[in-house]
């Protein structure tokens, strides 16, 4: 929610400066609004030519409500203020994105997905909305839609971490050839050695492991699903040699017995 908060605070500062100048009957030109980057206001709230643009009173009211709610950790009220701000500023995507983020952070994935889809109608290349859509669909178990979102992000960013997510989505959808291709591309990527993934270790605490271990384990999982236990064991052994305490590979080796 930081982006909109900053914008809204700047709106209030701009309004405050303008009000002070008016009170003092200062005839100097008002400060350039471009420096504040305010939320666009409706045409009927703009003063006549030659005077400073007025701030929509409702926008100002909801901005204060939003700021105070965040200050006092009342996120439900902050969410309500976001809805109010969206009604008054329907063309501002950043406020809608903040609402999608709120739903995502609070694990309200259906709403997070629906709000992100509204943003994607406006801009299909909005990577923030695509990320919320992908993770939201994944948590809802709608893996085909999650994969579509991850694929869109990958086309825009060519990001190895996104391709890693794609490989596992393809595996879950039993698109084994695609999953293997994604895994092979990752194993050849220049940044692979620097990439890490989190898994729950034996002590039930999250631990970082090299992404390479997870990818090799994935190739073993694909082989096992296809009935090739010899290749599966080979991949599982490779992964185990790199990370002897990697929980998923231990579980997969147990399935071979």
pLDDT, residue 56, reads 84
pLDDT, residue 72, reads 95
Mean pLDDT, range 5-34, rounded to an integer: 41
Query: pLDDT for 23-71, tens place per residue?
Result: 444 433 333 233 223 223 233 322 333 333 467 889 899 999 999 999 9
Residue 104 is assigned to a structural domain of this protein:
no
Residue 100 has pLDDT above 90, yes or no: yes
Range of the domain at 197: 173-257
Residue 238 is assigned to a structural domain of this protein:
yes
Alpha-carbon dihedral 183, 189, 191, 192, rounded to 10 degrees: 30
pLDDT, residue 8, reads 52
Residue 254 is assigned to a structural domain of this protein:
yes
Report d(CA 59, CA 77) in Å as an integer.
15
Report the domain count for the chain.
1
Residue 233 has pLDDT above 90, yes or no: yes
Residue 20 has pLDDT above 70, yes or no: no
- Indicate which CATH number applies to the domain containing 253: 1.25.40
Query: pLDDT for 141-172, tens place per residue?
Result: 999 999 999 999 999 999 999 999 999 999 99
Residue 204 has pLDDT above 80, yes or no: yes
Residue 93 is assigned to a structural domain of this protein:
no
Residue 211 is assigned to a structural domain of this protein:
yes
Mean pLDDT, range 1-10, rounded to an integer: 49
Mean pLDDT, range 168-178, rounded to an integer: 97
Q: Which of 19-23, 41-45, 217-221 has the lowest mean pLDDT?
A: 41-45
Query: pLDDT for 102-156, tens place per residue?
Result: 999 999 999 999 999 999 999 999 999 999 999 999 999 999 999 999 999 999 9
Residue 62 is assigned to a structural domain of this protein:
no
Higher-confidence residue of 36 and 17: namely 17
Higher-confidence residue of 41 and 89: namely 89
Residue 212 is assigned to a structural domain of this protein:
yes
DSSP the chain: -HHHHHHHHHHHHHHHHHHHHHHTT--SPPPPGGGT-PPPPPGGGSPPTTSPPPPPHHHHHHHHHHHHHHHTT-HHHHHHHHHHHHHH-TT-HHHHHHHHHHHHHTT-HHHHHHHHHHHHHH-TT-HHHHHHHHHHHHHTT-HHHHHHHHHHHHHHH--HHHHHHHHHHHHHTT-HHHHHHHHHHHHT-TTGGG-EEEEE-TTSSEEEEEHHHHHHHHHHHHHHHTT-HHHHHHHHHHHHHH-TT-HHHHHHHHHT-
Residue 154 is assigned to a structural domain of this protein:
no
């Amino acid at each position: 929610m930081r982006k909109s908060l900053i914008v809204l605070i700047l709106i209030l500062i701009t309004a405050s400066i303008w009000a002070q100048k008016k009170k003092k009957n200062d005839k100097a030109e008002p400060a350039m609004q471009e420096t504040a980057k305010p939320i666009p206001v409706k045409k009927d709230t703009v003063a006549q030519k030659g005077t400073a643009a007025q701030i929509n009173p409702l926008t100002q009211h909801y901005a204060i409500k939003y700021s105070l709610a965040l200050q006092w950790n009342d996120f439900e009220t902050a969410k309500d203020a976001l809805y109010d701000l969206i009604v008054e500023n329907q063309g501002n995507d950043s406020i809608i994105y903040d609402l999608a983020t709120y739903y995502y952070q609070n694990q309200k994935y259906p709403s997070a997905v629906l709000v992100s889809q509204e943003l994607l109608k406006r801009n299909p290349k909005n990577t923030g909305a695509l990320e919320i859509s992908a993770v939201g669909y994944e948590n809802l178990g709608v893996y085909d839609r999650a994969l579509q979102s991850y694929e869109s992000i990958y086309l825009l960013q060519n990001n190895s971490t996104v391709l890693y997510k794609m490989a596992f989505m393809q595996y879950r959808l039993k698109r084994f050839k695609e999953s293997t291709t994604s895994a092979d591309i990752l194993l050849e990527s220049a940044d692979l050695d620097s990439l890490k993934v989190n898994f729950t270790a034996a002590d039930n605490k999250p631990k970082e492991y090299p992404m390479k271990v997870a990818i090799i384990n994935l190739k073993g999982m694909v082989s096992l699903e296809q009935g090739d236990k010899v290749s599966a064991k080979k991949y599982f052994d490779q992964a185990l040699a790199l990370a002897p305490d990697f929980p998923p590979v231990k579980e997969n080796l147990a399935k071979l017995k």
